[in-house]
Amino acid sequence: MISYKSIGQEVYRPIRISDDIQFDGRLDEDIWKQVTPLTDFMQTTPTPGAPPTEKTEVRMVYNNFYLYVGFRCYDSFPTQLVRFLMNRDFELGKDDGISVQLDTYNDKSNAVLFVSNSLNGRFDSEVTNNGNSMNNDYNNFWDVISKIDSLGYTCEFKIPFSSLRFQQKDNTIMGFRFARLIKRKNELITYPKCDSSLKNQWNNCSQAATLIFSNLKTKKPVYITPYIIANFNQDHTLNEAGTKYVAKNTFFTSKKYIKNDAIDKILSNIGADLKYGITKNFTLNLTINTDFSQAEVDNRIINLSKYAVNFPEKRSFFLESKNLLSYSIGSSTALFNSRTIGLQNGTIIPIIAGIRFTGKQNGWAIGALNMQTSEVRDLNIPAQNFSVARLRKYYGSNGSFWGGIITNRISTQNSTISNQTLAVDAVHFFNDKWLLGFGAVSTYDSLVTKAIDKNTFFNIFAFKNVNVGFTHSLNFDLVGNKFYPALGFNPENDYGSISISNGRRYKISGNKKITFWSVNSDLHYRWKQLSQLTETKSANISLSLTGNKGSTFEFTPAAYTEDRLFNSWQLNDYITVPSGYYKMYTLYSDLFFDQSKGYTFGLYTKFGGFYGGALTTINPYFDYIINRYLRVGLKYEYNHIKFPENFSTSDHSIFNSNLFSLDLSIVKSTKLSVKMLAQYDDQSATFGGNIRVRYNPKEGTDLYIVYNSTFNANRLESKPILPYIEQQGVIVKYSLTFGL
């Protein structure tokens, strides 16, 4: 049964079944034939609002345990389906595919997304901020099977209700959206229909249709995931005489929990996670001896800005439900940065245990986390406790909210050493295009509340975001000179800034090559709070084109920047940029080709001034999916800066940097994959290698074999001579999830 209220507000009651259906991806059971399909899709690209060129039917049925969603994707030429990727968490936009999005709390702002393709690949994500943000590292328990036939392909999703969090009532209400990508046409279609000028139409939560389940009775999930690890590490360090490097081999890492070395090694390499559904909408997670050895390594960068870079979190425990703990303010400040837990100056700090509580009820969203790390005596790092509590209250029908956050980082060996953060924020959506928001934060050291104005960050922002038409944004920051969130990330304090951006995006009709073009202008002014001196002024105008196959070209013909360095900046051993006020003109271009034949190519270039020097940046990248089993990616970044001779302490005043990256993926099946990453940069003069083998026979069961290494490139230039291998290690980790 389906009734129509208005665009984007359809109400759907799926058929309830008493038993499980045959889960085979074919949709040939009688029950599927009894369901009236949903077919009223619309194009998002290349022609927003136009009818699809291929027919799509979607049906839903459910019982107390599973939601089944069946897609019938008709295709005029089934042999031309683009089918490449079958690995877990495959890259979106490369294949023909379909998606199911469920706003499980019906809050019009957040959802879970399930995506598959005709090769049974699985991708899931947490959608937040009404489709403007996605946590692609999210993983859940679900399954999918697809089948190719003469009409196109069918796809059957099997989503356990125990994997979803929702407010259980007699009538459980959720929002839902469907999407389908016809890759060879670069045609993305969505259901239900919505305003074609909106941004993020395919995963926009506020425009979702309504899904009603009656008398849904499901059990509270309890999952336990124990793990065991075997590892080997080899490091090279100077001998006591300082004459040569010697190898130190370690079998089974010891975290020094107890004095008995043998027992300590056993305890150090086992652990467990527990996930308990207190109710259907509140979840408790416990972790003991938390381990992240299987996490991917960071991609190397050449940082030519004067600010620190915040690398993304890749550890699974912190990625789940991270949106319920997040608080970002300004352009790059985060009050909770999980990489401050268990990592310090590149060193892994053992995490003894942790607890997390998350959920939603009646528009309230709650997230709380507490983690305890151990002492590392060799590095003089004390045992520490980390706490964060985040609260949001949603209102209205577009995802508006107000809320706050509290964080605390404290040394458990000296309780007088601590740092706290207290903040409030709000975002109000006037409609699906316009929003206004603000945030106010204060930080404290050891609960001292003196000079609060110097410890405060205040932010206000507004923007209009559309797919076609005018776009506008405004951001204003005021940051005190003693603002320091020890559990977060903040690249700089003591400044005020205002940024204004305006643009227009046009739809081009009747052109087979180009579908959109846009123009955008940006103005930015930044000053120091204490001295009131101007730090940065910048202005630029950019143009961009979007092709009908997904290719893009962005060109900034003239970006003007004035920037003050308050302190000298040492780029390498012999070049130092002196403090002063610098004026720079630069030109940018970014070209990206996306082809349905499996390869993509991009080229980013930048030319112009750089703090008294002349900069050239060339960054080509190439990705080729050779077949469904093999994929290779290549990246190269070249930077060349010619500085005045007085910037250098040698007769060489040119700064050059080179960064190479090779990414290779081998996928044997949906269960077995191998990823290899090799990186080299001439600033560190080292090669880095990472090989990850993952065997995932079913969701919740994983075997990882990981090899990491660092090789010295310029070993003969040092005395004593550096070893070929600076560091290498092998890790074998097995984890098994079972339910109670």
In the chain, how many H helices and how many E strands?
A: 3, 47
Mean pLDDT to the nearest integer, 375-398:
90
Q: Across 261-275, 295-309, 341-355, 607-621, which has the greatest mean pLDDT? A: 607-621
Could you tell me the two tokens for 563? 């920037």
Confidence tier at 548 by pLDDT (50, 70, 90) = confident
Output the DSSP codes for 648-708.
BSSS--EEEEEEEEEEEEEESSSSEEEEEEEEEETTTTEEEEEEEEEEEEETTEEEEEEEE
Which DSSP category does 51 fall into?
A: P
Confidence tier at 713 by pLDDT (50, 70, 90) = very high
Provide the 10 A C-beta neighbour count for residue 668: 12
CA distance 55 to 189: 10
What residues contact residue 719 under an 8 Å CB cut-off, 6+ apart?
none
What is the model's pLDDT at position 9? 59
Could you tell me the two tokens for 622? 């190439």
> 3-state SS of 56-116?
EEEEEEECCCEEEEEEEEECCCHHHCCCCCCCCCCCCCCCCEEEEEEECCCCCCCEEEEEE
Q: Give pLDDT tens digits for 35-52.
A: 999 999 999 988 889 999
Q: Give pLDDT tens digits for 665-707.
A: 999 998 999 999 999 999 999 999 999 999 999 888 999 999 9
Higher pLDDT, 343 or 708: 708
CA distance 14 to 70: 12
Examine the pLDDT at 157 and tell me if it is beyond 70.
Answer: yes
Give the residue extent of every domain in the chain: 2-214, 292-457, 514-667
The torsion angles phi and psi of 201, rounded to 5 degrees, stand at -65, -35
What is the model's pLDDT at position 159? 96
3-state class (DSSP) for residue 640 = strand
Q: Across 309-318, 484-493, 591-600, which has the greatest mean pLDDT? A: 484-493
What is the model's pLDDT at position 534? 96
What is the model's pLDDT at position 321? 80
From 364-378, 526-540, 587-601, the region with the lowest mean pLDDT: 587-601
Could you tell me the two tokens for 23? 């889960």
The H or E element spanning position 264 is helix 261-268
What is the model's pLDDT at position 484? 94
What is the model's pLDDT at position 529? 93
Examine the pLDDT at 398 and tell me if it is beyond 90.
Answer: no
Mean pLDDT to the nearest integer, 731-737:
94
> 3-state SS of 472-539?
EEEEEEEECCCCCCCCCECCCCCEEEEEEEEEEEEECCCCCCEEEEEEEEEEEEEECCCCCCEEEEEE
What is the model's pLDDT at position 397? 76
Confidence tier at 308 by pLDDT (50, 70, 90) = confident
Q: For domain 2-214, give the fold.
A: Immunoglobulin-like (2.60.40)
CA distance 687 to 643: 28
Mean pLDDT to the nearest integer, 709-730:
92
Q: Give pLDDT tens digits for 195-206.
A: 888 877 888 888
Examine the pLDDT at 8 and tell me if it is beyond 80.
Answer: no
Cross-strand bridge partners of residue 179? 99, 190
CB burial string 333-365: b at 16+ within 10 A, e below: bbbbbbbbbbbeeeeebbbbebebbbbbeeeeb
Average pLDDT for the chain: 91
Provide the 10 A C-beta neighbour count for residue 600: 19
Confidence tier at 1 by pLDDT (50, 70, 90) = very low
Confirm if 62 and 213 have CB atoms less than 8 A apart. yes
Q: Give pLDDT tens digits for 72-117.
A: 999 999 999 999 999 888 989 889 999 999 999 998 888 999 999 9
Which DSSP category does 198 fall into?
A: B
Q: Beta strands 15-16 and 56-62: pairing type? A: parallel
Mean pLDDT to the nearest integer, 237-244:
89
3-state class (DSSP) for residue 425 = strand
Residue linked to tokens 């979702």? 208
Provide the 10 A C-beta neighbour count for residue 80: 14
Examine the pLDDT at 10 and tell me if it is beyond 90.
Answer: no
Examine the pLDDT at 190 and tell me if it is beyond 90.
Answer: yes
CA distance 307 to 63: 53
Mean pLDDT to the nearest integer, 153-164:
94
Classify residue 534 as left (phi > 0), alpha (psi -120 to 50) or beta. beta
Cross-strand bridge partners of residue 425? 403, 439
Examine the pLDDT at 272 and tell me if it is beyond 60.
Answer: yes
What percentage of the chain carries pLDDT values higher than 90?
Answer: 68
